[in-house]
Amino acid sequence: MLQPQFPIPDAEPIVIRGVVFDMDGVLTDTLEFHYQTWQRLADEENIPFDRKANEALRGLSRRDSLMAILGDRMLGEAIVEEMLDRKNRYFLEFIQTMTQDHLLPGVLDLLQELRSDGIRIAIASASQNVDLVTRQLGLTDWVDAITNVYNVPHPKPAPDVFLYAAEQIGLPPHQCIAIEDAESGVKAALDARMWVVGLGPQERVGAAHVILSNLNSVRWKDLLDKIQCCR
């Protein structure tokens, strides 16, 4: 298993001024929406697909997800684009039904604490629909920057989207905590030299500095204490 890397030398104090959230699996859970829409597309194209295959797509961009589903199938770019657009249309139907009730437990309380403490907040997602989802969830006024992998040259697990998010909130990456639930996102945030909180099983997020099952009842002070103690 990968060992956590530390953004700054041991001798320097840890100063945290920003938090960068992934969207899916952290602020809300659209995994079921993605599963149903990918399953619909796969059924239409007679491609084998199931929940296990869907879990492997966690943290990937839409294009990378489709490439994983297609495997060694070779399709022209026009066909690939049509399939990506079709999947997105199916997904947008689900998004329109989302409300603040779809926030995961503990998220709103943590956001309120961050705001009260003057912490800058960003979202760095693999989803092209992150702006729409943010609006549907009623989070627009809670965040200072919303970014996605389509704003940068390379998707997760490259660090680009996290580096861009830090730039958007005006902070060096080592003054930010990234909260992720996917292996690709954890690697991206570590390579961006951020402190990383992984949500989920250790085998998936084990390289994170701090590992939690979820954000339910997580207090900002406690999270800071865990970061301060993790090295």
Same domain, 113 and 157: yes
pLDDT of residue 89: 95
1 pLDDT exceeds 70? no
Identify whether 50 is part of a domain: yes
The answer as to whether 3 is a domain residue is: no
Indicate if 44 and 109 belong to the same structural domain: no
> Per the residue annotation, which of 24, 64, 160, 191 is the catalytic one?
24
Catalytic site residue from 10, 22, 109, 191? 22
What pLDDT is recorded for position 12? 82
Distance CA 33, CA 180 (A): 19
Looking only at the bridges linking them, the beta strands covering 176-180 and 195-199 are parallel
The pLDDT of residue 2 is: 62
182 is in an annotated binding site: no
On whether both 69 and 84 belong to a single domain, the answer is yes
The reply to whether 141 and 184 lie within a common domain is yes
| Annotated binding residue 38 | yes
Place of tokens 């249309």: 89
The average confidence (pLDDT) of the chain is 93
> Structural domain tally of the chain?
2
Q: What are phi and psi of 97, to 5 degrees?
A: -90, -5
Distance, CA of 127 to CA of 59 (rounded, Å): 9
Residue 58 marked in a binding site: yes
Give the pLDDT band (50/70/90) at residue 60: confident
The model's confidence at residue 3, banded by pLDDT at 50, 70 and 90, is low
What residue numbers bound the domain in which 150 lies?
18-28+99-229
Which ranges in the chain belong to alpha helices (H)?
A: 31-44, 51-55, 62-70, 77-95, 107-116, 130-136, 160-168, 183-191, 202-205, 220-229
Q: Are 79 and 94 in contact (CB under 8 A)?
A: no
How sure is the predictor about 195, in pLDDT bands with cuts at 50, 70 and 90? Answer: very high
Residues 91 and 153 in one domain: no
The yes-or-no verdict on residue 217 having pLDDT over 90 is yes
Assess if residue 58 is contained within a domain. yes
- Domain membership of residue 7 (yes or no) is no
At which of 79, 95, 111 does a domain end?
A: 95
128, 213: one domain = yes
User: Would residue 136 count as lying in a domain?
Assistant: yes
Q: Is residue 11 part of a domain?
A: no
- For residue 87, being part of any structural domain is answered with yes
pLDDT at 70: 95
The verdict on 91 and 136 lying in the same domain is no
What would the two tokens of residue 228 be?
């301060």
User: pLDDT for 29-48, tens place per residue?
Assistant: 888 888 999 999 999 999 99
* 24 is a catalytic site residue: yes
Residues 49 and 147 in one domain: no
Return the pLDDT at 68.
95
Last residue of a domain, one of 68, 95, 122: 95
Kindly tell me if the per-residue pLDDT of 11 is higher than 80: no
The per-residue pLDDT for range 121-172, each reduced to its tens digit, is 999 998 888 999 999 999 999 999 999 888 899 988 999 999 999 999 999 9
Q: Which of 50, 65, 95 is the last residue before a domain boundary? A: 95
In a domain, 215, yes or no: yes
Note whether 182 and 162 are same-domain residues.
yes
156, 45: one domain? no
Same domain, 181 and 196: yes
Asked if residue 193 belongs to a known ligand binding site, the reply is no
Q: Which of 128, 149, 92, 52 is nearest to 42 (CA)?
A: 52
The domain spanning residue 125 has which CATH number?
3.40.50.1000
Output the pLDDT for position 126: 84
pLDDT at residue 45, as a whole number: 95
Are both 107 and 199 inside the same structural domain? yes
CATH number at residue 83: 1.10.150.240
Over residues 79-103, the pLDDT tens digits come to: 999 999 999 999 999 899 999 999 9
What pLDDT is recorded for position 10?
Answer: 76
